Amino acid sequence: MLKDLDREYVLATYARADVSFVKGENATLTDSEGKKYIDFMSGIAVVSVGHSNEKLSNALCEQIKNITHISNLYLIEPQIKAAEAIVKSSGYDMRCFFGNSGAEANEGAIKIARKYGEVDGKIKRYKIITLEHSFHGRTITTVKATAQESMHNFFGPFPDGFVYAKDIDEIESMLDSHTVAVMIELVQGEGGVEPLDRDKVQALAKMLKDRNILLIVDEVQTGIYRTGEFLASNLYDIEPDIITLAKGLGGGVPIGVVMTSHKDILSAGDHGSTFGGNYLSSTAALSVIEILNEYKDSGELDEALLYFEKGVNRLHIKYPDIFLKSVGFGMMRGLRVRDGDTLAKIISNALKEGVVVLKAGKNTLRLLPPLTISKGEMDEGFFRLDNAIASI
């Protein structure tokens, strides 16, 4: 049995469901028993252009037949073109560094900020403020940057220099002469699909700019049209100093990017990655951006976002005793559930009904479908999710 082999040979870092998927087509998955599911999760906001996307698959097949990896010691054409596409799509004047994950992208952002805080080779400013309920990664440094005490068990001692604000209003009072940056998610994904207030974010961005303190925006989950625009930063109409991306950028191929307007901050040897931005991953990123830029320009993405929002809101209205609030933007949506036990039952029942959903925070049902999900797949997914809720 596959589950027995998993128990014997794989570290138990995930509470896995006893399901193995063997095929996917856009937002429809098929398991090893032939059962079909509607994917309202997309690998936690990763499979942005759907499963088995023909254009992405063809681009990867063509690339892998020629060259998969060489080294960042040489020019890599798809990496350069992907960087150009990211920068032009973002609307910001920045340069990119490629890694392999969101955590690595955030590590790069922290290193950029720390170097920015140096004066004459000495660290003068090093503190980075993050928000309560944030999530920035699983490495030792990004775990410490994550303002969730439950994630700090077992793994100390941690790097110094991270301080936590309970909300955006508290940040200004925490700034001091050692503060170099503030790091935020515009919509806290793991923290419960919680959007920050747009006016407060804009005021924060201006205040930090006036004080020469960097604004880092973690767009690992919100980026690449997840909230409706290429970046959530575009939606909030701000200009961060540093932005991090991952998840949906590769359409399923591991990739991470840190981009910054401080284009000459890093020199040769300051940072690196063996696999980062290799031929395969950067080809994937370039293809995903081309697909989604065209999808956005055609108006189809905005139409799909509205259709999905209506489906989420129908459930919220239909089950007022279960759902306290509808939250999120675009195809990064959540339904706040009355309690954790009810949420666990919904997720379990949904899997039985054939729709894949997940949890965020303590009591939020999180919905992150592929951006290319069809209206028919949405209708079927919401029908199955409705059945799952009704059966509680």
Residue 209 forms part of a structural domain: yes
Q: CB–CB of 349/27 below 8 Å?
A: no
Question: H or E segment at 359?
Answer: strand 358-360
Percentage of residues in the chain with pLDDT exceeding 90?
A: 95
Please tell me the distance from the alpha carbon of residue 174 to that of residue 206, in angstroms, as a whole number: 16
Among 207, 201, 152, residue whose Cα is nearest residue 175: 207
The whole-number pLDDT of residue 149 equals 87
Q: Is 59 part of a structural domain of the chain? A: no
Classify residue 311 by its DSSP letter.
Answer: H
3-state secondary structure of 222: coil
Tell me, rounded to whole angstroms, the distance of Cα 199 from its chain centroid. 22
Considering 262, 297, 332, which residue would you say is the last residue of a domain? Answer: 297
Domain that holds residue 377: 2-52+299-390
Which one of 281, 297, 313 terminates a domain? 297
pLDDT tier at 150 (50, 70, 90 boundaries)?
confident
CATH number of the structural domain spanning residue 133: 3.40.640.10
CB-CB neighbours of 84 under 10 Å: 13
For 323, counting Cβ atoms within 10 Å of its Cβ (0-12 exposed, 13-18 middle, 19+ buried), the class is: buried
Do residue 87 and residue 165 come from a single domain? yes
pLDDT of residue 340: 94
Asked if residue 57 is part of any domain, the answer here is no
pLDDT tens for 163-219 read 999 999 999 999 999 999 999 999 999 889 999 999 999 999 999 999 999 999 999
Position 272 scores a pLDDT of 96
Same domain, 230 and 354: no
String of b and e for 159-185 (b: at least 16 CB within 10 Å)? eebbbbbeebeebeeebeeebbbbbbb
Q: Are residues 187 and 250 in the same domain?
A: yes
Sign of CA dihedral 299, 284, 331, 147: negative
Whether residues 163 and 221 share a domain: the answer is yes
pLDDT at 322 over 80: yes
**Pair (38, 165) in one structural domain:** no
- pLDDT for res 24: 98
Strands 122-123, 118-119: parallel, antiparallel or unpaired by DSSP? antiparallel
198 and 76 together in one domain: yes
Return the CATH number at 48: 3.90.1150.10
Q: In this structure, are 165 and 282 located in the same domain?
A: yes
Regarding whether 207 and 135 lie in a shared domain, the answer is yes
pLDDT of 301 reads 98
What is the per-residue pLDDT for 392?
87
Edge-to-edge strands, sheet with 162-165: 95-99, 256-260, 242-245, 214-218, 179-184, 127-131, 162-165
Taking a C-beta distance cutoff of 8 angstroms, is the pair 152, 144 a contact? yes
* Pair type for strands 36-39 and 28-31: antiparallel
What pLDDT is recorded for position 124?
87
Is the model's pLDDT at 262 over the cut of 90?
A: yes
Q: Is the pLDDT of residue 3 over 80?
A: yes
pLDDT at 232 over 90: yes
Q: Same domain for 293 and 160?
A: yes
Q: Are 105 and 256 in contact (CB under 8 A)?
A: yes
Burial class of 313 by CB neighbour count within 10 A (0 to 12, 13 to 18, 19+):
middle
Flag whether 37 is in a domain: yes
Q: How many CB atoms lie within 10 A of CB 60?
A: 21
Quick check: is 62 in a domain? Answer: no
Phi-psi group of 207: left, alpha or beta (phi > 0 → left; psi -120 to 50 → alpha; rest → beta): alpha
Report if residue 110 sits inside a domain: yes
Q: CB-based contacts of 329: which residues, under 8 Å, 6+ apart? A: 187, 195, 227, 228, 232, 235
Residues 350 and 280 in one domain: no
**Section 364-383 average pLDDT:** 98
Whether 60 is covered by a domain: the verdict is no
Our count of domains for the chain comes to: 2
Q: Do residue 258 and residue 339 come from a single domain?
A: no
Predicted confidence at residue 1, as pLDDT, reads: 86
Boundary (domain end) residue, out of 255, 273, 297: 297
Q: In what order do the strands lie in the sheet with 28-31?
A: 21-25, 28-31, 36-39, 355-356
Say yes or no to pLDDT of 373 above 90: yes
Q: Is 61 among the domain residues?
A: no
| Domain shared by 242 and 360, yes or no | no
pLDDT at 235: 97
Q: Name the residue type at position 186.
A: L
Decide: pTM greater than 0.95.
yes
| Averaged pLDDT score across all residues of the chain | 96
User: Which of residues 154 and 382 earns the better pLDDT score?
Assistant: 382
